[in-house]
Amino acid sequence: MSSTPRRNRDRLHGLLMSAPALLGLIAFVGVPFVYALALSFYNVRLGSPLEPSFFGLEHYRRLFTDPDLSGPFLRALLNNLTFAVVVVPLQTGLALALALLLNRKLKAIGLFRSFFFMPVVFPMALVAVIWRLILARSDQGMLNSALAHLTFGNWGAFDWLGDAATAMASVIVLSVWQGVGFQMVILLAGLQQIPGELYEAARLDRATRRQQFRHVTLPGIRSTLVFVAMLTSVLSFRVFDQVYVLIRGGGLNEDATRTVMYQAVTTAFDQNNVGRAAAVTVVFFLIVICLTLLQRRFVRPENED
């Protein structure tokens, strides 16, 4: 009899502690999604003197059946998937390598940690502008200039951002460089939670460094790795800033790097079609939710039922 009131009290305390996060989730995710869903059923145009008219499912039908609309949308969705498939394992693996490298008791280790974390502090717009200078197609571009020196002048000017074969790769390198420090800090915190006694026991059993990493380090940070992978997936699907800045600044191949978020913004503010942009956002939101649930299903931490 005494366990039931205590269970109810613990449940109430849990709800009270999670109330601020739940309210923030409802206010900044739930309400905007419902509003976008409502807008997707209307023909809403910015600056139009006409009243918004009810469109029903017309925006959704055109998005999947009209070649002029479905083609760019599917292309943007493919670009998003390509970006996520490459960035998630690459950025997570690089973050883990950096965390292992910086999880050492060395002099001035805090300085090295700050150095690798520094790109995260910079705004993405500033990072995109800097990388646009690095990847400039002229001979004065920093990357082209460095390659020309290394090849004794045999390397000519190459359009890294404008060429369809390297445009997406350029955006991926930029994004990984800017964001890997954030995942590194999370994994570094996870590594520091592993008891040192486990490594001492492994060394007493004459385990090599590779065996210690496989049997002690990876199991100890498995939940952290799952969290980092899911967080990186969500961030990679909402990629927008760097693509927008590079395309608007000129030089970036739009077809090879256009993302769904970029298409939604340009549809709303360039074409003034808010209703269609809301439909694009709703469809993309549902796709990301489904992919996130699938990822969570297959990489669920061991301590979850």
Interacting residues of 165 by C-beta distance below 8 A, sequence separation 6+: none
Amino acid in the structure at residue 159: D
pLDDT at residue 92 in the model:
93
Three-state SS for 44-79 is CECCCCCCCEECCCHHHHHHHHCHHHHHHHHHHHHH
- Residue 40 sits at the vertex; the CA angle it makes with 295 and 30, to the nearest 5 degrees, is 50
Domains belonging to the chain, first-starting first, are 30-298 (1.10.3720.10)
Phi, psi of 295 (to 5 degrees): -65, -40
pLDDT computed for residue 301 by the predictor: 56
Alpha helix segments (H runs only) across 238-273 = 241-248, 254-257, 260-269
Going by their DSSP bridges, the two strands 42-43 and 53-54 should be labelled as: antiparallel
Mean pLDDT of successive 10-residue segments in the chain (305 residues)? 70 83 87 90 82 87 88 91 93 93 82 86 88 82 86 82 90 92 92 89 88 89 88 88 86 87 86 89 88 75 54
DSSP-derived 3-state class of residue 80: helix
State the pLDDT at residue 187. Answer: 93
How many helices (H) does the chain have, and how many strands (E)?
Answer: 16, 2
Cα 115 to Cα 29, 101, 176, 298: the distances in Å are 34, 13, 15, 34
pLDDT of residue 1: 46
Token representation of residue 129: 């502008």
What's the CA gap between 244 and 241, in Å, rounded? Answer: 5
Q: Is the pTM of this model over 0.75?
A: yes
Q: What is the pLDDT of residue 183?
A: 93
> How many angstroms separate the Cα of 37 from the Cα of each of 9, 31, 130?
37, 10, 37
Provide the pLDDT for residue 250: 76
pLDDT at 303: 54
SS (H, E, C) 159-190: CCCCCHHHHHHHHHHHHHHHHHHHHHHHHHHH
Measure the CA–CA gap between 152 and 223, rounded to whole angstroms. 49
> Contact 285/33 with Cβ under 8 angstroms?
yes
* pLDDT value, residue 85: 92
| C-beta separation of 76 from 258 below 8 A | yes
pLDDT of residue 300: 63
Beta strands in the chain (DSSP E): 42-43, 53-54
Residue 58, class by beta-carbon neighbours within 10 Å (0-12 exposed, 13-18 middle, 19+ buried)?
Answer: middle
Confidence (pLDDT) at 13: 80
Cβ contacts of 105 within 8 Å, gap of 6 or more? none
